[in-house]
């Protein structure tokens, strides 16, 4: 099969159905999964529905939905017939949705019930049909003769080639305007296939999905990869708050999960670290390296149990992981793994499994992908990361000039990220080139490095370092709930005291951070930011909003 395989969704899925027809495929946590043969029939009946809606190969069909088993069925139906899926992030506002639908020229949309109110505010001349994701009913224009029948079959066979577009991904990113990233069947299938080379996956694995399927990271590695391998993917029917996530972990007992740094960083700072620092004895012991490692090891055992006890791969991507938190994960022997990539690269470029992690490294390039550091600094070896391989996007939709700016004539993709390699060609990310702050003296400052120091100060929830009139300023969002909890014993008005304490913390933090960074990275001021920062789907702060 290896020599004859075609890098398309229909090819790989047909192979999975042939090998594992009765294996579990998709389900909500706590519900009975549908099998691969049942999913196959659902996809066929959905293709028949799309035919009734007059969808043709090459047409754009949008998806605006929270994660659910039907999401994957719709995505496959669209792409199996040669149409192009346009997944929209659930937290997009109506204006963003309208812009994307108009820019992509989408002619139909599948929307989950909770998000359909957003579409009432959207005006687009192209959109002819709107279907409900939960039951596939056609709710606009409401034609009675167009109905979903689960026993339907497509009226014809469709041929999909590797270079056909599978999806157009729009992301606000951290630098502003959305762009439609054109990804082919080959782009995505290649990445999923090579991801299996980083971490082996088979039909015995259980994935618990907590990130939006409309993001390439979850879509490729958390959906396409398990569908290739006959694994089962479980979804949450509500946002992943602790009260929803913890029971799901106990029920599913996942072997695989994909997350962003913010999730594990919150667990460490809000639950694990306070358990070691709240009492004088454990705080003293935790400051001694030998005892810290032993305490972290015990915490790691409890953490693995919390995640269901069967976890063997906890993937972290989408943003840089705090080094302090990563050091804890290493000492806790928690099966975390780091990956690096972008939407434009489908997404994985470099990755490593839990057995081979190195502190602050994303691992080497995945098989079949070339990475280089363009114009490296002669002393540090740092420079912009360039990539080449079968997973590089076709380009930005209807944006030839933007495409030329990021893809060279000989096929290298300019990532916009700064990094360097060690002697074993493991990649280390320094930050986004657009985020680098150039000081009046010519020094290059990586704000992410300063923020990682700030974020480990007590009661800090998140931070953002910006340049203001030639000086570095730290905007800091303190954890209001933790502060109120800490001082609720006081007789005076708690909120009033907390505000006063924030000012004191800001002054303490100013001294703390400047004692831990080099002289060029010292901040001029620490300013309390009252609200959480606006973020992308992978929980990166939208920096452009705060410059």
Q: pLDDT tens for residues 497-540?
A: 667 778 888 898 899 989 988 887 899 999 999 889 988 877 88
Quick check: pTM over 0.85?
Answer: yes
Average pLDDT, integer, range 104-130: 93
**Residue that is written with structure tokens 């060690």 in the block:** 422
Q: Which CATH number fits domain 260-434: 3.40.960.10, 3.40.50.300, 3.30.230.70, 3.40.50.12780?
A: 3.40.50.12780
Residue 518: predicted pLDDT = 82
Could you tell me which CATH class the domain 9-18+27-195 is placed in?
A: alpha beta
Q: What does 154-222 look like in DSSP terms, one character per residue? A: -SS-----TTSEEEEEEE-TTTSS-EEEEEEHHHHHHHHHHHHHHS---TT-EEEE-S-TTSHHHHIII
Please state, in angstroms and rounded to a whole number, the distance separating the CA atoms of residues 23 and 17. 9
pLDDT at residue 362 is higher than 70:
yes
Provide CB contacts within 8 A for 520, sequence distance 6+: 439, 441, 443, 445
Does domain 446-545 correspond to CATH entry 3.30.300.30? Answer: yes
Buried b (16+ CB within 10 A) or exposed e, 108-129: bbbbbeebbebbeebebeebeb
| Cis preceding linkage at 272, omega within 30 | no
Beta strands in 404-539 (DSSP E): 413-421, 427-432, 437-438, 444-445, 460-468, 471-478, 525-528
DSSP one-letter code for 355: G
pLDDT at residue 194 is higher than 50:
yes
**Could you tell me which of 263, 187, 199, 264 has the C-alpha nearest to residue 226?**
199
Work out whether strand 165-171 and strand 138-140 pair parallel, antiparallel, or are unpaired: unpaired
Please state, in angstroms and rounded to a whole number, the distance separating the CA atoms of residues 192 and 196. 7
Residue 3: predicted pLDDT = 45
pLDDT at residue 418 is higher than 50:
yes
The pair of structure tokens assigned to 128 is 């002819």
Q: Specify whether the backbone of 72 is left (phi greater than 0), alpha (psi in -120 to 50) or beta.
A: alpha
Establish whether domains 9-18+27-195 and 446-545 are of one fold: no
Residue 486: predicted pLDDT = 67
Question: pLDDT by residue (tens digit) across 363-388?
Answer: 999 999 999 999 999 999 999 999 99
Please state, in angstroms and rounded to a whole number, the distance separating the CA atoms of residues 334 and 25. 27
Residue 193: predicted pLDDT = 97
Please state, in angstroms and rounded to a whole number, the distance separating the CA atoms of residues 539 and 181. 19
Residue 173: predicted pLDDT = 40
Q: For the ranges 219-233, 478-492, 521-535, which has the lowest average pLDDT? A: 478-492
For residue 53, count other CB atoms closer than 10 A to its CB: 16
The pair of structure tokens assigned to 516 is 């831990």
Q: Show the CA angle centred on residue 317, arms to residues 312 and 320, nearest 5°.
A: 120
Question: pLDDT by residue (tens digit) across 300-359?
Answer: 999 999 999 999 999 999 888 999 999 999 999 999 999 999 999 999 999 999 999 999
Question: pLDDT by residue (tens digit) across 137-175?
Answer: 998 765 567 899 999 999 999 999 999 999 999 975 444
For residue 492, count other CB atoms closer than 10 A to its CB: 9
Q: For the ranges 52-66, 286-300, 302-316, 457-471, which has the lowest average pLDDT? A: 457-471
Which pLDDT band holds residue 488 (cuts at 50, 70, 90)? low
Buried b (16+ CB within 10 A) or exposed e, 300-321: beebbeebbeebbbbbbbbbbb
Percent of the chain with pLDDT over 90: 73
The pair of structure tokens assigned to 217 is 């990271």
Question: pLDDT by residue (tens digit) across 267-302?
Answer: 998 889 999 988 899 999 999 999 999 999 999 999
Strand, coil or helix: what is 457?
coil
Please state, in angstroms and rounded to a whole number, the distance separating the CA atoms of residues 362 and 430. 11
Residue 127: predicted pLDDT = 92
**Could you tell me which of 37, 31, 90 has the C-alpha nearest to residue 66?**
90
Q: Are 138 and 146 spatial neighbours (Cβ–Cβ below 8 Å)? A: yes
pLDDT at residue 119 is higher than 90:
yes
Residue 545: predicted pLDDT = 86
**Could you tell me which of 426, 424, 420 has the C-alpha nearest to residue 352?**
426
Q: For the ranges 34-48, 411-425, 455-469, which has the lowest average pLDDT? A: 455-469
For 220, 258, 348, 426, the CA distances from 311, given in Å and listed in that order, are 20, 11, 21, 25
Beta strands in 377-439 (DSSP E): 383-388, 395-396, 413-421, 427-432, 437-438
Q: Show the CA angle centred on residue 433, arms to residues 429 and 437, nearest 5°.
A: 110
Please state, in angstroms and rounded to a whole number, the distance separating the CA atoms of residues 33 and 27. 4
pLDDT at residue 442 is higher than 70:
no
DSSP one-letter code for 439: P
Percent of the chain with pLDDT over 70: 94
**Residue that is written with structure tokens 């149990």 in the block:** 305
- Identify any residues that bridge with 316 across adjacent strands, giving them in sequence order: 259, 338
Domain spans, the chain: 9-18+27-195, 260-434, 446-545
Residue 175: predicted pLDDT = 44
Residue 1: predicted pLDDT = 36
**Residue that is written with structure tokens 């999806």 in the block:** 167
Phi–psi pair at 342, nearest 5 degrees: -140, 160
Please state, in angstroms and rounded to a whole number, the distance separating the CA atoms of residues 459 and 528. 12
Q: Are 461 and 479 spatial neighbours (Cβ–Cβ below 8 Å)? A: yes
pLDDT at residue 445 is higher than 90:
no
Residue 2: predicted pLDDT = 45
Residue 277: predicted pLDDT = 86
Q: Show the CA angle centred on residue 327, arms to residues 324 and 331, nearest 5°.
A: 145
Strand, coil or helix: what is 338?
strand
Strand, coil or helix: what is 333?
coil
């Amino acid at each position: 099969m290896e020599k004859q395989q075609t890098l398309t969704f229909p090819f790989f899925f047909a192979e999975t159905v042939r090998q594992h027809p009765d294996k579990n495929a998709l389900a909500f946590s706590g519900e009975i999964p549908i099998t691969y043969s049942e999913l196959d029939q659902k996809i066929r009946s959905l293709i028949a529905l799309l035919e009734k809606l007059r969808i043709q190969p090459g047409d754009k069909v949008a998806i605006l939905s929270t994660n659910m088993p039907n999401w994957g069925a719709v995505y496959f139906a669209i792409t199996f017939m040669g149409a192009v899926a346009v997944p929209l992030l659930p937290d997009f506002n109506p204006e963003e949705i309208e812009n994307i639908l108009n820019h992509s020229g989408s002619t139909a949309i599948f929307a989950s019930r909770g998000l359909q109110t957003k579409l009432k505010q959207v005006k687009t001349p192209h959109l002819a049909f709107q279907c409900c994701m939960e039951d596939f009913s056609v709710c606009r224009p409401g034609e009675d003769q167009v109905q979903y029948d689960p026993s339907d079959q497509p009226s014809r066979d469709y041929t999909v080639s590797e270079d056909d577009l599978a999806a157009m991904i729009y992301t606000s990113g951290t630098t502003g305007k959305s762009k439609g990233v054109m990804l082919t069947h080959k782009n995505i299938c290649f990445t999923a296939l090579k991801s299996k080379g980083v971490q082996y996956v088979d039909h015995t694995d259980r994935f618990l999905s907590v990130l939006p399927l409309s993001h390439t990271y979850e879509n490729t590695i958390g959906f396409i990869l398990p569908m290739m391998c006959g694994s089962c993917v479980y979804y949450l029917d509500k946002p992943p708050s602790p009260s929803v996530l913890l029971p799901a972990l106990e029920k599913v007992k996942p072997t695989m999960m994909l997350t962003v740094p913010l999730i594990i960083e919150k667990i460490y700072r809000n639950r694990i670290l306070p358990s070691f620092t709240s009492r004088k004895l454990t705080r003293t012991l935790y400051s001694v390296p030998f005892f810290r490692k032993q305490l972290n090891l015990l915490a790691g055992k409890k953490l693995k149990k919390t995640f269901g006890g069967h976890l063997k791969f906890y993937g972290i991507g989408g943003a840089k992981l705090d080094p302090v938190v990563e050091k804890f994960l290493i000492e806790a022997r928690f099966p975390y793994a780091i990956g690096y990539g972008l939407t434009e690269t489908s997404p994985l470029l470099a990755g490593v499994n839990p057995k081979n992690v190195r502190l602050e490294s994303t691992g080497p390039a995945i098989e079949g992908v070339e990475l280089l550091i363009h114009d490296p600094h002669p002393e540090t070896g740092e420079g912009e990361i360039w990539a080449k391989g079968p997973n590089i996007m076709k380009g930005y939709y209807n944006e030839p000039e933007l495409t030329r700016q990021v893809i060279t004539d000989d096929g290298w993709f300019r990532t916009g990220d700064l990094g360097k390699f060690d002697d074993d060609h493991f990649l280390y990310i320094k930050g986004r080139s657009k985020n680098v702050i150039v000081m009046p003296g010519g020094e290059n400052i990586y704000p992410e490095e300063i923020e990682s120091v700030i974020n480990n100060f007590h009661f800090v929830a998140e931070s953002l370092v910006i340049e203001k009139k030639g000086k570095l300023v730290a905007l800091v969002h303190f954890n209001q709930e933790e502060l109120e909890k800490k001082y609720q014993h006081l007789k005076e008005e708690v909120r009033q005291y907390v505000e006063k304490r924030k000012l004191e913390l800001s002054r303490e933090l100013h001294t703390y951070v400047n004692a831990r960074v080099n002289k060029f990275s010292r901040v001029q001021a620490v300013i309390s930011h009252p609200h959480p920062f606006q973020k992308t789907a992978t929980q990166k702060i939208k920096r452009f909003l705060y410059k």
